[in-house]
């Protein structure tokens, strides 16, 4: 999710109320946490909420997408390296473990790690020490570990793809974030929240969602979960010329007429946002620029691209 929605939105469904209760209970501890759930359910937001409610909240949480790290760079990324350790090591560099010392380390998509990398993570967690690539010096680290995955790690253990000892090490507490289709009661809260966020972001006057549109949102299966709902609301706010979002503002599925993604270019979407904002603010460039979160000169330059004949 974007920085505009960089917090956990409380839900009304019993499952999300339960998740929030667990978060509040475990946050003050240093217990390792494993967060499971499908892609797009908000696992990283749950991790951030745990961190923000913990005694380590004064420090930045360090996040690592384990799925994006290649095997060759794994040790350098996680444990750091010293100058000259390999060809491109032109200076000493701290790894994520050391950067998270005194804070929270969030390892996302931990199920994507190879067995060799799992062994190295386990060793660091057991000893609470790391060794940078190219160094013999051990560095003590004090971290609170939170991991997340969309994989069935217990099944992977049975298949020999995930270390059982690492699984027990990382899941002192396990939190399952349910898919959006199983928490329909949360859709109105989330939708209203995202509408508010994107109205503010794009300089729109407040917009409401009508009852029939809410019904349409509630009846959709949301395979992309909360992330897909967020994008759908953003698209509707951008494209709508009304103060009320209707069912027709939301189209889903492969047969849907997806105007936002397939019929308009990014430049055309930006043009619509700018011209709509100007219209709502009496064509006052200074006010519109402030609403859009850019400088007056930047807005003027964008308008010149839209209409080269501007003075």
Instruction: Tell me the pLDDT tens digit for each residue of 110-158.
Output: 999 999 999 999 999 999 999 988 888 999 999 999 999 999 999 999 9
Q: Are residues 145 and 122 in the same domain?
A: yes
**Residue 149 within a domain:** yes
Last residue of a domain, one of 110, 144, 178: 178
Q: Are residues 23 and 69 in the same domain?
A: yes
Tally of domains in the chain: 2
pLDDT digits (tens, 9 = 90+) for 3-36: 555 667 667 788 899 999 999 999 999 999 999 9
Q: What are the C-alpha distances in Å from 67 to residues 34, 99, 115, 209, 256? A: 16, 19, 14, 37, 31
Cα–Cα nearest to 186, from 235, 216, 226, 231: 226
pTM of the full structure: 0.76
Q: Are residues 237 and 254 in the same domain?
A: yes
Q: Are residues 43 and 186 in the same domain?
A: no
What is the Cα–Cα distance from 267 to 261, expressed in whole angstroms? 12
* pLDDT at res. 88: 77
Give the tokens for residue 9.
């939105």
Residue 87: domain span: 3-178
Q: What are phi and psi of 2, to 5 degrees?
A: -75, 170
Cα–Cα nearest to 207, from 218, 196, 216: 196
Cβ neighbours of residue 1 under 8 Å, at least 6 residues apart?
Answer: 42, 44, 45, 226, 227, 230
Q: Are residues 20 and 100 in the same domain?
A: yes
Q: Are residues 299 and 170 in the same domain?
A: no
Q: Are residues 144 and 192 in the same domain?
A: no
What is the Cα–Cα distance from 225 to 41, expressed in whole angstroms? 5
- Domain CATH for 113: 3.40.50.300
Q: Are residues 153 and 8 in the same domain?
A: yes
Task: Please state, for a pLDDT cut of 70, what percent of the chain lies above it.
Answer: 91
Last residue of a domain, one of 178, 200, 232: 178
Q: Are residues 135 and 230 in the same domain?
A: no
**Residue 311 within a domain:** no
CB neighbour class for 91 (10 Å; exposed up to 12, middle 13-18, buried from 19)? exposed
């Amino acid at each position: 999710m974007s920085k505009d929605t960089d917090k956990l939105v409380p839900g009304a469904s019993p499952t999300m109320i339960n998740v929030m209760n667990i978060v509040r209970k475990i946050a003050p501890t240093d217990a390792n946490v494993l967060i499971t759930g499908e892609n797009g359910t908000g696992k990283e937001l749950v991790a951030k909420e745990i961190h923000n409610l913990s005694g380590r909240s004064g420090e930045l949480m360090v996040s690592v997408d384990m799925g994006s790290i290649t095997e060759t760079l794994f040790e350098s990324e996680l444990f750091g390296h010293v100058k000259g350790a390999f060809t491109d090591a032109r200076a000493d560099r701290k790894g994520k473990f050391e950067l998270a010392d005194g804070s929270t380390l969030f390892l996302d998509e931990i199920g994507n790690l190879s067995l060799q990398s799992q062994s190295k993570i386990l060793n660091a967690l057991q000893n609470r020490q790391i060794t940078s690539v190219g160094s013999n010096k051990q560095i003590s680290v004090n971290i609170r570990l939170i991991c997340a995955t969309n994989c069935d790690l217990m099944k992977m253990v049975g298949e020999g793809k995930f270390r059982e000892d690492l699984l027990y090490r990382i899941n002192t507490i396990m939190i399952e974030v349910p898919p959006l289709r199983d928490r329909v009661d949360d859709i109105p809260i989330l939708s209203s929240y995202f509408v508010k966020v994107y109205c503010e972001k794009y300089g729109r006057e407040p917009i409401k969602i009508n009852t029939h549109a809410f019904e349409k949102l509630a009846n959709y299966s949301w395979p992309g979960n909360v992330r897909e709902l967020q994008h759908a609301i953003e698209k509707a706010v951008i494209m709508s010329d009304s103060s009320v979002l209707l069912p027709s503002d939301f189209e889903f599925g492969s047969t849907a007429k997806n105007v936002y993604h397939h019929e308009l270019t990014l430049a055309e979407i930006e043009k619509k946002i700018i011209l709509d904002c100007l219209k709502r603010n009496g064509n006052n460039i200074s006010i519109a620029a402030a609403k859009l979160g850019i400088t007056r000169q930047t807005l003027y330059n964008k308008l010149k691209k839209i209409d080269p004949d501007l003075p």
